[in-house]
Structure 1
Amino acid sequence: MNKNKYGTYKFGLVTASAFVIANMIGTGVFTSLGFQLLGTTNFFSLMLLWLLGGIIALCGALVYGELGAVMPRSGGEYHYLREIYHPLLGFMSGWASLIVGFAAPVALACMALSTYLHKMFPAFNPLVTAITVLTAVTLIHAYDVKMGGTLQRVFTFFKILIIIVFIICGFCLPPHGQVDGFSAATFSFDDVFSTGFAVSLIWVYYAYSGWNASAYMANEIREPQRTIPRSLFISTVIVTILYLLLNAVFLFAAPVEAMQGQVEVGLIAARYIFGEWGGNLMG
């Protein structure tokens, strides 16, 4: 039963988790590795980066889970800061989230989608594609809550399925010896305390952003005291595992020189795994 006693549709655990996963898995994981490779090329250091990012995101998810259970109301940090500290802090946080926290990442996601699509189909204008997709998805979510939840579940499951297929193929299809471009056999604490490692954490933080998504729609969730903490925890763990495996595939599939400083590392790795045409399709 997905409705409350008033007959209003409410999201369950699966949909709430799908929102969190979809918010987290975006352009960050498919674009940030190229910049991280400018700071360090050590395999274990890079994996530690993504593991550390996942642990930090999980800590945040646990905190938000507790806050969501105690104060089950939509708004996320706007509501929490307003109630715990002062309405002014909530107001400032709300404006920051509106402009930087939501508008900018959504715009970047649309730009990344249109860029990838343009490389496969040059006839597609990147700007027109980005605006069209953003408008269409927004209208669907605004039209009906249930339809928006269904769309989110389908897109999220499809996204996870594609990533799993990509990971499996990445470990099975590439010929041996493509890991020679980076130091996969050694680990140094000097890398961990280097400037490059610290700067790379910024990209990792961006890739993990979105772990608090379900807290923003507490009023739309069934039994938010139970569902919000569970959705945040489950989703963050799933995304952390996928990120670690996905970046390992990128490093095993493509030479470091081909990815350093590049934005579309996902497309580059896909071309090394599936070939030019298959890589474009996967991208």
Structure 2
Amino acid sequence: MSQFRHTTVTAVVIANMVGTGVFTSLGFQLLDIRSGFVLLLLWAVGGIIALCGAMTYAELGAALPRSGGEYNFLTRIYHPAAGFVSGWVSATIGFAAPTALAAITFAAYAATILPAPISPWLHKTVACGLVIILSLVHASNHRNSGGLQVVFTILKIAVIVLFCIGALIAVDLPQPVHFLPAPGDGKLIASGAFAVSLIYVSYAYTGWNAATYLSSELEQPQRTLPGILMTGTAIVMLLYLSLNAVFLKVGSMEAMAGQVEIGFIAATAAFGDTGGRFA
């Protein structure tokens, strides 16, 4: 059986985590929280939770080295029926819903580049076309699937890093937001708004377990899987903290509060209307 390289599986972890959540959830957090320190703390706590999950799955994956993720773990630890239910829930909801949401978000952001609004059916056609094309590539062979994953992951990281650097340089008047603790932050951290916002953050971090679905296609998974999960999760945590810090420095909290297209709002604030369409 052909096997994936370690870099490819690490790219799978990163690509599965970096999705729509980080570009949309800040707007909902800003409805109740307006402290830069508390907002970044949310993303740090979410990252630590994801790292704890990655460490747990790393130990399980090393002890039970077989592809399948939760299906394999639940089947081996509890009962095949538990694995069967988990597998079907993942296939019909756990994988399908995030894939559909990512495709819809891609179509929404792609539409902002166009000078005129597109019709709803064209919006859906773009989203469905993206899912079909990527599915065909991944179904072809390991080389095409792995190569596409690595290339897309490198592009994702490069775009985020370039956006962060470019936005900080291009913005005329950075927002007066501070990332050090301030009076009243403790009350915000202990509030229900912090706990609810952590749900959005946790959603953005989902995907750190992706490598466990490919355990059988790794060389020596007992040795390599823990490092892959930890490395991928740590890289995403760093990207998320940097990206949200830039969002807060570039875009005004009033403009982003309650909005979904946070990336577009921040890019427009930094690069202008034209730059925002392509950022």
What TM-score results when the alignment is normalised by the length of structure 1?
0.93
CA deviations on 1:107-152 (whole Å, 9 max, x unpaired) are 0000000000011124762111100010000001111121000000
| 2:21 aligned partner | 28
Q: Is the 8 A contact 2:174 2:250 kept in 1?
A: no
CA deviations on 1:43-78 (whole Å, 9 max, x unpaired) are 111001000000000000011111111111111011
CA deviations on 1:128-182 (whole Å, 9 max, x unpaired) are 11000100000011111210000000000011000000111222221234236x8
Amino acid at match of 1:253: V
How far has the Cα of 1:184 moved from its partner? 6.7
Q: Is the 8 A contact 1:75 1:217 kept in 2?
A: yes
CA deviations on 1:6-28 (whole Å, 9 max, x unpaired) are xx321111000000000000000
| 2:139 aligned partner | 142
Mapping of residues 255-266 of structure 1, within 5 Å? 255-266=252-263
Q: Is the 8 A contact 1:72 1:219 kept in 2?
A: yes
Instruction: From 139, 148, 152, give the equivalent of 1:151.
Output: 148
- Distance in 2 (CA, whole Å) between partners of 1:39 and 1:101 is 28
- Distance in 1 (CA, whole Å) between partners of 2:239 and 2:90 is 26
| 2:11 aligned partner | 18
| 1:208 aligned partner | 205
Mapping of residues 1-283 of structure 1, within 5 Å? 8-121=1-114, 122=116, 125-179=122-176, 186-187=182-183, 188-282=185-279
Q: Is the 8 A contact 1:179 1:255 kept in 2?
A: no
CA deviations on 1:229-252 (whole Å, 9 max, x unpaired) are 111000000000000000000000
- Distance in 2 (CA, whole Å) between partners of 1:184 and 1:229 is 33
Q: Is the 8 A contact 1:271 1:278 kept in 2?
A: yes
User: Which aligned runs of 4 or more in structure 1 are off by greater than 4 angstroms?
Assistant: 182-185
- Distance in 2 (CA, whole Å) between partners of 1:207 and 1:52 is 12
- Distance in 2 (CA, whole Å) between partners of 1:106 and 1:36 is 23
Q: SS of 1:120's equivalent? A: coil
Amino acid at match of 2:37: F
CA deviations on 1:73-121 (whole Å, 9 max, x unpaired) are 1110111011111222212211221122100000000000000001112
Q: Is the 8 A contact 1:179 1:253 kept in 2?
A: no
Pairs aligned (count): 274
Amino acid at match of 1:166: F
- Which moved further from structure 2: 215-224 or 184-193? 184-193
Distance 1:141-1:177 versus aligned 2 partners, 3 A rule:
closer
What TM-score results when the alignment is normalised by the length of structure 2?
0.94
- Distance in 2 (CA, whole Å) between partners of 1:110 and 1:198 is 28
- Distance in 1 (CA, whole Å) between partners of 2:100 and 2:152 is 18
Q: Is the 8 A contact 1:42 1:184 kept in 2?
A: no
- Distance in 2 (CA, whole Å) between partners of 1:51 and 1:10 is 34
